[in-house]
Structure 1
Amino acid sequence: MATTAFGGGPSLDQRRTFAALRDGTHVPGYRGYCPQIKYRVGKTYGTDTHELSKDHEHRHPASVLYLVPPETLRNDLPDPTGDNKYTKDMVPGYTGYIPRMPFKFGGTYKEDCDVCIDDYLTNRRTADIKDADLRQQVRGYPSLTPIAHNPGVRDKMNLYRDTHPAQPTLLEDKRPLTEPPIPGYRGYIPRIKATELGLGARYHNATKKGLQQFVNETAAHAEKVSDRLPLSIERVTSQNPMNGPTSYNRRLYQQDGMIPKYTGYIPHRRFVFGNTYGDTTRSLSVCGHNSNSYGEWAQSKLIRQSTIA
């Protein structure tokens, strides 16, 4: 018997005999799947796997496990060419996807790969045969005569459209607003989630009720708006004993400047540098004018410029 250093060594059966493993026992340290092993406590791994092998035939007997070839495959697995993925010489460690491989347990990588690839090829060829048979049956039936090319139908449709102009379905290809969408539509439908219209009903009925309710509310709101009288906006002033007449539109930017840490927007402040926050705001036109609001000051400024011009 050649030694391992010269490419030989004991066979697998000789190794199992030397380790005195009983029939059906896994080698301690085996990380593969073993049914019901997690529910057994108190015995060694070898004893548990030996007893489980009698109740669950998850593997072949040790004497013929590596001597009996795998079952004859229905397809001739392809040879590796460098471009094809699924071949008959799959190397352990391949990290790509193999169909049905996650559901195979108890066999070697080569055997499981051959079975999975064989099933994949069989299913694909079966699907191709069914598709070819369906195409052949379709070609065997006589072709239907299209009526779209019939000039009589075209003339009748044109005459009907001219004599019935009130039919919107013939003039434009637009769905009405209250028509419910098909099931599976992921867009927004008003009123079906915020109200009880979407509870306890099928999607078709719920969407139809929601769209109809939305149309009714929109029409009612339009009627209310049309009935309102136009409002006249006038500036209302009040008498302030300290500063005289002031507008209800009170001034936002004061003449004495803005308080530091004010987080609101101040026009033109971003273009001023080198001063404190108070000096900066007091120097801006929005704070330095004497009018009741910046709009009044800007309007008076335009009037003065037009007068001078």
Structure 2
Amino acid sequence: MPVGGKCKSVLLTPDPYHTPGYGGFCPQFQYQIGETFGRTTSRLLTDHNVASSGRRVLADIKIDPKRCATTMDEGTQSQRTRQRSLGDQKLMDNMIPGYSGYIPKSLNYFGTRFTEICRESVSEFEDAYQSQDAKLANLRTSANQIGLTRIISKDCPPDSSVSVIERSERPALTVLACHVANNLKPFNQNTDPNKKFMSGYQGFVPRSRGLMGLGFPIITNKALITFTEEVSKHRQLKNQPILVKRELKSARDPSKKQIYTVGVGMIPDYTGHIPGQKFRYGQTFGTSTENAKCSPPCV
């Protein structure tokens, strides 16, 4: 939306007005006829009898010095801290429009200049990073105060503040893990009433896809029983030797596979070759093919 200037000709459309091609809403525009788009929108925007919000559609291009100075001080300080700690020379305090790289948190800012969007988004990202780093430092301090240590390998440097815990000194988590592994529902006894899953369980249940029409606990019980039986069967067969038995094929008896039978005709719709069949006529297919290999063709 153009803003009025001091040296504008009277032949031009008076400000403010909407440029032709503007597709947004303009109050009472649909009831106006007989004037150009610019003059019509200029008259509607300056008419106090037309209800409007009083705000311009586009943001003012004039920069607020106080707001700009405060934003620049905060954003510049955060970016300078980032440059000193990480050596990042891409996200500067004077970003040039057209930069196509990734700018963290930039999707949360819009409606202002590119440089301000970059400054505020990078400043927010740096503040969140520093806040997370401070929380982690406080957590480590609290852990050291109550005597908690972390299990690390023996290859850690000698000046490390984290003490090494030997394998025998580790907490008895392995006992709990063994207890859980031994009490897994798929490997419980088939007669165990707890060999099932509660309704709402979203994990994988083996052999349950083909079961339907029953309650979820019943389906999981049957599926787990089937799975346990299959696993037990595979474990039993795993150690058994594999024996391959092949039956010797005897010589084929030519009398067992006769195409042209003796005393019986061929089955209708037989599409194979029949000797002399094209010279026979006046009979049914079964009669004409009786003893087809032995009988001479009809003349």
Give TM class, smaller chain: 0.3 to 0.5
Structure 2-normalised TM-score? 0.43
Structure 1-normalised TM-score? 0.42
